[in-house]
Amino acid sequence: MKKKFFVTATDTDAGKTYVSVGLLKAAHRAGLRSLGLKPIAAGAELVNGKLCNDDALLIQDASSVLLPYEQVNPMVLEAPMAPHIAAAKENRLLSVSRIEGYLKGALLTLHDIAIVEGAGGWRVPINDRELLSDLAKCLNFPVVLVVNMKLGCINHALLTAEAIRHDGLTIAGWIANGGQDTMMCYEENLLTLTKMLPAPLLGTLLWHNCVSDAEVEFDHIFSKL
């Protein structure tokens, strides 16, 4: 049976791509056909004459199901800023219906697991009326929440989880990313989140883990999904 997940986070630069890539590679090691998509990406440079986002390229490379870049990242914006602002500066219009159409086309490709990575946090606007969370609602995939372990993460994580559940979506689990060497009272914060978040803790990750240790941890996380 196909599995599909939407990866979001407590804020930007929280580790969504790190987690998405890790899960895609873990699926491949498990012998599954993995497909990664990054619907919207803001912040891109020319690569062989076309705009490409670094995170989207990582997701494309980590997927065992090969798709052209345009399907992996159908909405790429040059400026590294909020998507609705970047789109306005480029005189482009982002909409949930259009993006959903692109994703449904890509998801027709044979796969066993699909990972769709969001942009920023849960309530990122894509135009004056719609949020990226509206796209997640249309897809109706279980959500994997990445928590950036730093001061303030408890508030950010609880509010994000509340919003996800308010939107009628299931939280498949959450992942604690980083913080072991930089956050005061890391273990106490982790324990508080474990008690208060309405979803299972899938695993704890280091920002700069060695490859072999990271693979073991991601294999462990993947086995829980």
Residues taking part in catalysis: 38
Match 């994000």 to its residue by tokens. Answer: 160
Residue 157 C-alpha from the chain's centroid? 15
- Please state, in angstroms and rounded to a whole number, the distance separating the CA atoms of residues 152 and 12: 14
The H-or-E segment that residue 51 falls in is strand 50-52
Tokens representing 135 are 């796209």
Q: How many Cα atoms sit within 13 Å of 184 on the Cβ side?
A: 2
Q: What letter would DSSP give residue 63?
A: -
SS3 97: helix
* Token pair of 204 as six digits: 């704890």
Q: How many CA atoms lie within 13 A of 103 on its CB side?
A: 26
- Judged by DSSP in three states, 149 sits in coil
Q: Which residues contact 74 (CB under 8 A, 6 or more apart)?
A: 39, 99, 102, 103, 106
